[in-house]
Amino acid sequence: MSPALRTTILATLAVVAAGLVWWATGRQHNIQNLWTLLASLIPFVLAAETIASLQPSWFRRGRLVEICALGAFVVVFCFLVPKIFAAALDDDFNRLYSWMRILVPLLILCLALMLRLGGAIPAVTRRVSYAGILIMLSGLEDLAFQLLRGKPLADRWDWADHMTVRLGHVASRNEAMAFIVVHLLLAGAIVLLPDRFWQRIGDGLRRRSGSARQRPASVRERAADRTR
């Protein structure tokens, strides 16, 4: 499979997955269960792999790099920012929080995209994407919010749905601290993984796509063997 076709397939799957998740959960402002959380991560993973599969050489004509960078900015500035302002003006915290859950992964992907178009190897974009989403899911911003307010940390983190659905109950203060530390350690481990680890993942994806194309021939060969 050619790199261009592989990128096109990944991008198409990412868009379709994002559409399905939005159709299924777009009106829900809270994370209902673990499956909802996992489903919402599928478009992110597909988009991250799309970015990793891009070839910077495709964007060296004209001003495509600049257009991609400004296009990403326009999506954030002219769509998500107004949505967040509208939710804030309506004093609708749940709707505001749901838009922030879209904004942050998009910013992570924008960073990964700019790195890739700037010439970073796929391993770098994967590290930034997957370490970034782990930092987001850690609850670090919930801790920072409480610390910046200058108030004692809450005994029960009942607003942190991303913790509740994975723990199976509302996190206590100590559980939330442990939850954050574990995620940050995992993010650090991803950053430290060597290039060859990510290279093997990319090679595995390419081998699977190649074997899928060769499978019909192998099936015919086995059928022919059985008839001999």
Cα–Cα distances in angstroms (integers) from residue 130 to residues 74, 91, 149, 218, in the given order: 24, 32, 29, 36
Flag whether the pTM goes above 0.85: no
DSSP 77-134: IIIIHHHHHHHHHTT-HHHHHHHHHHHHHHHHHHHHHHHHHTT--HHHHHHHHHHHHH
How many whole angstroms separate alpha carbon 124 and alpha carbon 65? 18
What pLDDT sits at residue 112?
95
Average pLDDT, 10 consecutive residues per value, the chain (228 residues)? 86 93 74 84 94 90 89 92 90 84 94 93 94 95 91 90 92 95 96 84 61 46 39
SS3 171: strand
Q: Which of 108, 7, 1, 123 is nearest to 59 (CA)?
A: 7
pLDDT score, position 151: 81
pLDDT in tens, 122-156: 999 999 999 999 999 999 999 999 999 888 899 99
Contact 95, 87 (CB under 8 A): yes
For residue 222, the model assigns a pLDDT of 43
pLDDT at 43: 94
Residues contacting 210, CB < 8 A, separation 6+ = 1
Contact 30, 94 (CB under 8 A): yes
What pLDDT, on the 0 to 100 scale, is given for residue 219? 43
**Cβ(179)–Cβ(141) under 8 Å?**
no
